[in-house]
Amino acid sequence: MKSSQRGAVKPAYLMEVLEAANKAEKSGRSIIHMEVGEPVTGVPKMAKEFAIKTLTDTHLGYTETLGIPGLRQKVANLYSHRHQIDLSPDRVVITTGSSGGFILAFLAAFDAGDRVVLSSPSYPAYRNILTAMDIEPIVLPSDSETQCQLSPKLLDSIDGQIDGVLVASPANPTGSMLSADELRQLIDYCDDRQIRFISDEIYHGITYEKEAETALKYKDEVIIISGFSKYFCMTGWRLGWMVVPGDMLVNIKRLSQNLYISPPAISQYVAIEALDCGEELDENVVRYAQNRNYLLETLPNIGISKFAPADGAFYLFADVSNLTNDSTTFCHRMLEETGVATTPGIDFDPILGHRFLRFSYAGYTDAIIEATQRLREWLK
Ligand SMILES: Cc1ncc(COP(=O)(O)O)c(C=O)c1O
C-alpha cells in the first residue's frame, strides 16, 4: 500500500533516550533527567489554580481561530514591556505550541521546492518539518567562530536561490544568541534580497549575560515564532504564538481554520493568567542561572570542558570528542551506568553531532549537583 516519502523524516533520538530513562525509572532506578528541554516546575501556581476554576466554571469549546482576543492583546502587551514595541494584537496569532506555528509559517511563506537556510547544530524539527513539506532545508555548519549562528558571510556562501532564513536566539541545542547588531544585519541582508526571515524566539526570557532582542524591532515583514513552553513552563499545554506581517494574516487564518480549527481553549485561559506570573517565572530563571554557573565551573574538572556559547535557554552543548567518537553509544552507557540522561548531538547535527552531548539544566539544582557527582565517579 502507498505511504508517502514525506512521512519518512528522521527520528528524534532524544525521545529514545527519554523512553529508556523512563523505563529505567519505572523499574526503580534513580534517574536524573538532563535530556529533555522542559522546565521541571510546571505552570505557575496562580495559573494552575485558575485552570482548576476554569475547568469547573467555563464551557470549553472551540475558540476564535487566531486565539482568544484577550490573550492576543496580552501577548502584544508583552512586546511593549519586554521590547518597548507597540504591537497591534491583530498581528498576534495563537498556535498549538510553537510547533504548530512552524507548520503555519512554512505553509504560508513557502511553496514546495523553495529553499530555507538554517544553521547546524539546530533544533531538528526545523529540518524535518521543512522536508515533510517538500521545502528544501539548506543547512550551514556553524561553529564557535560564528557563535553557532548564521551570518551574512555564511549566507553569501550559498549557491542558488534562498527563499527563507530561519534563526533562533537563544538557540537549541547551544544556547547561543545573536547580538542585536548581528540580528539586524541578517534581517537587512534578507530584506535587501526579498528573503523571508523567520525568528524562533521561544527561549526569550531565559537569558544570562544580555537580553535577547526581537526581530520585530527591525522589520514588520519578519515572522516571529514563540510560545508558552519554555519561560512560561507550559510544555504540556501545547500553546504558542506567532507575530506575522499584516498581509499574511488572511492566509494564516484560513490555514489555521482548516488545520486546527482553534488552539486549545483551556490552555489559552491559563496562558492569560501565566502572563501575569513574571515574579514566579523569573525565580526559575535565577535557578537556571545557578545551574548553568555550577555546570560551567564543575564539568571542566571532570573532563568536559568545551562548550558552545551558552548565552541563554537551559542547555550546554558539550564537545565530548576527548571522551568518545560516538556520543549516542556514550549517552546510552552513561544512562545505563550512572542514571544520568542526556541527549546525543546527532539529533541536532547529523554530521558532527557524534562528537557532542546536550545537557539540559532546567531541573532542580540538587539533581544537577548529584548528576555531576555521578559523572565524576564514572569518568574517573
Ligand atoms: C528552539 C525550539 N523551538 C521550538 C520548540 C517547540 O516548542 P513547543 O512546540 O513546545 O512550543 C522547541 C522545543 O524544544 C525548541 O527547542
Q: What average pLDDT does this structure show over 240-260?
A: 97
Residue nearest to atom 16 of ligand 1 (CA): 172
**Cα distances (angstroms) measured from residue 178 to each of 183, 191, 305, 316:** 6, 18, 23, 17
Q: Which amino acid is at 268?
A: Q
Backbone angles phi and psi of 355, in degrees to 5: -95, -5
Give the mutation target among 95, 230, 360 for probing the ligand 1 site: most ligand atoms within 8 A of CB.
230
Compute, in angstroms, the gap from residue 313 CA to the centroid of ligand 1.
11
Burial string for 308-317 (b: 16+ CB within 10 Å, else e) reads bbbbbbbbbb
pLDDT band at 308 (very low <50, low <70, confident <90, very high): confident
| C-alpha span between 198 and 96 (Å, rounded) | 18
* Of residues 237, 265, 245, 275, the one with CA closest to residue 67: 265
Three-state secondary structure call for residue 363:
coil
Average pLDDT of the residues of the chain:
95
Residue 238 predicted with pLDDT over 80: yes
Give the mutation target among 106, 128, 202 for probing the ligand 1 site: most ligand atoms within 8 A of CB.
202
Counting from 1 in the atom list of ligand 1, the atom nearest the Cα of 37 is: 14
Maximum pairwise Cα distance, the chain: 60
Instruction: Domains for the chain: give ranges and CATH numbers.
Output: 13-43+278-379 (3.40.640.10), 60-274 (3.40.640.10)
Which stretch of 143-147, 217-221, 303-307 has the lowest confidence by average pLDDT? 143-147
Residue 7 predicted with pLDDT over 90: no
Residue 9 predicted with pLDDT over 90: no
| C-alpha span between 294 and 361 (Å, rounded) | 10
Say what the alpha-carbon torsion angle 230, 232, 235, 236 is, to the nearest 10 degrees: 180
Look at residue 18 in the predicted model and tell me its pLDDT: 87
**Cα distances (angstroms) measured from residue 187 to each of 164, 199, 203, 222, 333:** 11, 10, 19, 8, 43
Residue 142 predicted with pLDDT over 90: no
Give the mutation target among 14, 43, 96, 98 for probing the ligand 1 site: most ligand atoms within 8 A of CB.
98
pLDDT tens digits along 27-69: 999 999 999 899 999 999 999 999 999 999 999 999 999 999 9
Compute, in angstroms, the gap from residue 301 CA to the centroid of ligand 1.
31
The span from the first CA to the last CA of the chain, in angstroms, equals: 53
Which stretch of 6-10, 74-78, 154-158, 323-327 has the lowest confidence by average pLDDT? 6-10
Contact between 133 and 357 under an 8 Å Cβ cutoff? The reply is: no
Q: Which residues line ligand 1 (CB under 6 A)?
A: 37, 97-99, 123, 168, 172, 200, 202, 227, 229, 235, 240
